[in-house]
């Protein structure tokens, strides 16, 4: 049991690292306009109203890549695909909270949950461990 808990924790750290790296890349390519405070929901709402679609697609790709890395890491460490599913579920909860806090376009509400859960599950499957 301790191995599975550690695996989920490690998977979440792997996912977080990848997502933050992708979001940093996006911020380097498409910096926020001057005067936007990323900690202020109203300020971010204003910025997201004018953000290029490419920036949102990069965020979505980062979420998917992070979830995949997290699911793969968790399943490899725990030797169980279920830990990847747990990582995917936690990523999904975090993504929904993010989208509820910072308004995203409607299509993101459809693509985001898929990009957060399915890649974690796939990472677990590719880890080559049975779902036990």
Average predicted confidence (pLDDT) for the chain: 89
Is 81 inside any structural domain?
yes
Between residues 35 and 110, the one the model is more confident about: 110
Total domain count, the chain: 1
Is 40 inside any structural domain?
no
Whole-structure pTM value: 0.86
Q: How far apart are CA 80 and CA 66, in angstroms?
A: 19
Is 100 inside any structural domain?
yes
Is 39 inside any structural domain?
no
pLDDT-derived band at 130 (thresholds 50, 70, 90) equals low
For 14, the domain range is 2-29+51-126
Which pLDDT does position 132 carry in this prediction? 47
Which pLDDT does position 84 carry in this prediction? 95
pLDDT beyond 90 at 39: no
Asked if residue 69 lies in contact with residue 14, where contact means CB atoms within 8 angstroms, the answer is yes
Is 41 inside any structural domain?
no
């Amino acid at each position: 049991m301790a191995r599975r808990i550690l695996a989920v924790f490690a998977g979440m750290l792997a996912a977080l690292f990848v997502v933050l790296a992708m979001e940093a890349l996006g911020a380097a390519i498409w910096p926020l306009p001057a005067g936007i405070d990323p900690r202020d929901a109203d300020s971010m709402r204003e910025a997201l109203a004018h953000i290029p679609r490419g920036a949102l697609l990069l965020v979505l790709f980062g979420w998917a890549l992070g979830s995949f890395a997290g699911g793969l890491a968790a399943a490899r460490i725990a030797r169980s695909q279920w830990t990847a599913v747990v990582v995917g579920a936690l990523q999904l909860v975090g993504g929904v909270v993010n989208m509820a806090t910072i308004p995203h376009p409607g299509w993101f509400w459809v693509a985001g949950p898929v990009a957060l859960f399915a890649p974690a599950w796939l990472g677990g499957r590719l880890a080559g461990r049975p779902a036990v």
